[in-house]
Amino acid sequence: MTDKSTEFHQKMTLNAGGTILDLSTPVVMGILNLTPDSFYDGGRNNTAALAIERAGQMLADGAAILDLGAYSSRPGAADISTGEEILRLLPVLRALVKAYPRAIISVDTFRSEVAQAAIGEGAHIINDISGGSLDPQLFETVARLKVPYVLMHMKGTPQNMVQHAHYHDLFDEIFTCFTERLFQLGELGVTDILIDPGFGFAKTPEQSYRLLSMLEQFKAFGHPVLAGLSRKSMIYKKLGVTAAEALNGTTVLNTIALQKGANILRVHDVKEAAEAIKLVSLTFNV
């Protein structure tokens, strides 16, 4: 967490379907993958009953947002059709909206058609791993729907992004990309935006650690910053463990992200992230 007396004005709220989410104290976004092949929890939540049970536990543990994903974005994951993504997503989304009508729900998709369908069924936020690069209609769709948008940096696609982890100047290229995309979104009237550097997406572990060390610089855009580090290969490969054994490493990196100004932690393990926020907040008296 950074000093509140920054030189620039940073937006600290999101309007999620009429609910104003205060991000002056960081919050947790709980990952709810509805896919059979996600790198850590694939197949665990892909029925409405399983997802409702998992979501309920996340909300009880302190999640402010539930992030539903029906398209696996792990490196090399199989591509699926828009229809298949919608078929996986909507039944669970409808069940969650009915079970937890006050919950704030984000949908992890890069497709405008999926975004349209999800917001129509009660979701509140669109979380786009591609930063608008994989569907030219998505920015206009988000603007028309008037919903918050997570702008993440990635090059290529989940199928080939590993091949795109080459940069002349890592930070400069990502910063320039965000500047251009934020201008496009601003021209369309989109103002509720979260910045996500995209740890592990077209980035080597070394590049991801460099971005983490510079995370506070992304706050210069004036938008809240989201850190998605949970159980990623940048943790478990460096520690010589598996994703299932990467909770401790995740907590360490989440703590660093908080110290560097992250406003949202996107995680599989909500309770531990919420505890990290509480203790870091006490330490920095915010």
pLDDT in tens, the chain (286 residues): 444 334 467 899 999 999 999 999 999 999 999 987 554 454 555 678 889 999 999 999 999 999 999 998 877 778 899 999 999 999 999 999 999 999 999 999 999 999 999 999 999 999 999 999 999 999 999 999 999 999 999 999 988 998 999 999 999 999 999 999 999 999 999 999 999 999 999 999 999 999 999 999 999 999 999 999 999 999 999 999 999 999 999 999 999 999 999 999 999 999 999 999 999 999 986 5
Distance of CA 226 to the CA centre of its chain: 6
> How many domains does the chain fold into?
1
Does residue 252 contact residue 267 with C-beta atoms inside 8 Å?
no
3 within domain boundaries: no
Tell me what pLDDT residue 40 has: 45
* Catalytically annotated residues: 232, 266
Distance of CA 214 to the CA centre of its chain: 18
Tell me what pLDDT residue 39 has: 45
88 within domain boundaries: yes
95 within domain boundaries: yes
Tell me what pLDDT residue 225 has: 98
Does residue 72 contact residue 82 with C-beta atoms inside 8 Å?
no
Domain of 210, CATH number, reads: 3.20.20.20
| Full-model pTM | 0.92
226 within domain boundaries: yes
162 within domain boundaries: yes
Dihedrals phi, psi of 274, to nearest 5 degrees: -65, -35
Specify the 3-state DSSP secondary structure of 61: helix
* Cβ-based neighbour number of residue 221 at 10 Å: 18
Cα(49)–Cα(65) distance, integer angstroms: 19
Distance of CA 47 to the CA centre of its chain: 22
62: amino acid identity, one letter: G
Distance of CA 232 to the CA centre of its chain: 13
Tell me what pLDDT residue 3 has: 43
77 within domain boundaries: yes
Residue 172's domain comprises: 13-284
104 within domain boundaries: yes
5 within domain boundaries: no
Does residue 269 contact residue 235 with C-beta atoms inside 8 Å?
no
